[in-house]
Structure 1
């Protein structure tokens, strides 16, 4: 059976994966771009944006694991768009005409709408479903490849609670946000279900990898 993977999911020292006050011009709220500056410096990011250059060290190696072997993605409504996007029937996500996923993407929302086919192989499907139900559909669409769980923090937390995540890569950056949406709430003793490794890099971030035991 294909794995469920989380990659490049970034949190602050106090565990927040997004800041307060999300808006169309501030998708991560008051956190701004501070959570992801480590990634912006990598060659992986430069290539994703059609450019050249960027670092090729450990940060880049972790970041580049994001894509290989992925056949579908699941994301929450908050990752697909800012608060209120459900009120715009023409809204097609925050990534333009050619989103970077290039696979079927299943968006969890309490207000489903018809699927939207985009350029580059991405098709957005909108589901009002439990984590297990969404995963069943995503695995069917992935054609034997793995399913990436894209976030946000509430969605990842729900999948972790149900024991549905096989591999998770979390990046802890040295900032304090103080408010927003935290990843770890309600996940006491999560470490008992995972083998955890930590790698710190010169950029100041710590890469935490969680591999489910008995998989």
Structure 2
């Protein structure tokens, strides 16, 4: 059954890049000199070092490791992708004529554009009707495989807020960035006393990163545990 999945590399304090770059860069080299890049490359170091990631990008080298197996597993599971326009704009030139996705990609945007066909099975379809429509189209194109939310963080939050996400995998790098774009914040659309419940289903620890996979159970009311207000409980705790 097709699942909508997402995976994101984050620091221990929840950042997936450094502080947001407000400049309108025309190419990747400008972004690389900005404030986002150092944090981004630190939290994704584990993937860049992995052989499976490098092979998919058309690069040589890399380590054959558990991290590499997880990268390969992630690529193999995806039958279609959904991504934000900002991520597409940043990646269009560096990805070149044969991007790493090798599957249909649906780009959520306010700026229409003709479908962009690339070598290796990748196509980019620009969806102006919102994230729900992009996920719907990706499901139809996925051929029974997963729909992967490719990023960035803002789009992932939109998918989660819309109740469309089935599985989330966080790759937690052992670093504190202190400042940066945090994956989760107040824009999830949660009401007062409400949360999104997740169930951890897999934890894989490697020297450079901890991979935690969650099933997303959806929104639920938070229950106030007021047992501490009981004088009897306080008294018994002191015995």
- TM bucket (normalised to shorter chain) is 0.7 to 0.9
Displacement of 1:134 in angstroms is 1.1
TM-score normalized by the length of structure 1: 0.82
Paired position in structure 2 for 1:194:
199
Displacement of 1:52 in angstroms is 4.3
Q: Residues 181, 53 of structure 1: CA spacing in aligned structure 2 closer, same or farther, 3 A cutoff?
A: closer
TM-score normalized by the length of structure 2: 0.75
Is structure 2 residue 166 aligned with structure 1 residue 162? Answer: no
Paired position in structure 1 for 2:51:
43
For 1:61 and 1:196, the matched residues in 2 are separated by 18
SS at match of 2:44: helix
Whose helix fraction is larger, Structure 1's or Structure 2's? 2
Between structure 1 and structure 2, the one with the greater Rg is 2
Paired position in structure 1 for 2:235:
none
Paired position in structure 2 for 1:207:
211
Gaps of 5+ in 1: 83-90
Q: Residues 171, 92 of structure 1: CA spacing in aligned structure 2 closer, same or farther, 3 A cutoff?
A: closer
Displacement of 1:29 in angstroms is 3.1
Q: Residues 193, 174 of structure 1: CA spacing in aligned structure 2 closer, same or farther, 3 A cutoff?
A: closer
SS at match of 1:164: coil
Query: 8 Å contact 2:16–2:40 — kept in the other structure?
Result: no
SS at match of 1:68: helix
Paired position in structure 1 for 2:128:
128
- Map 1:1-215 onto structure 2 (within 5 A): 1-7=1-7, 9-22=8-21, 23=25, 24-25=28-29, 26=31, 28-31=36-39, 33-48=41-56, 49-56=58-65, 58-82=66-90, 92-186=92-186, 189-190=195-196, 192-195=197-200, 197-203=202-208, 205-213=209-217
After superposition, the C-alpha distances for 1:82-115 in whole angstroms (9 at most, x for unaligned) are 4xxxxxxxx9453011101111111111112111
Q: Residues 93, 189 of structure 1: CA spacing in aligned structure 2 closer, same or farther, 3 A cutoff?
A: farther
After superposition, the C-alpha distances for 1:32-79 in whole angstroms (9 at most, x for unaligned) are 5212111122221233234245132x3222222211132210001121
Aligned length: 202
Q: Residues 53, 30 of structure 1: CA spacing in aligned structure 2 closer, same or farther, 3 A cutoff?
A: closer
Displacement of 1:10 in angstroms is 0.5
Query: 8 Å contact 1:35–1:173 — kept in the other structure?
Result: yes
Which of structures 1 and 2 has the larger relative contact order (alpha carbons within 8 angstroms, sep 6+)? 1
Taking only aligned residues, the RMSD between alpha carbons, in angstroms, comes to 2.4
SS at match of 1:71: strand
Gaps of 5+ in 2: 189-193, 219-239
SS at match of 2:148: strand
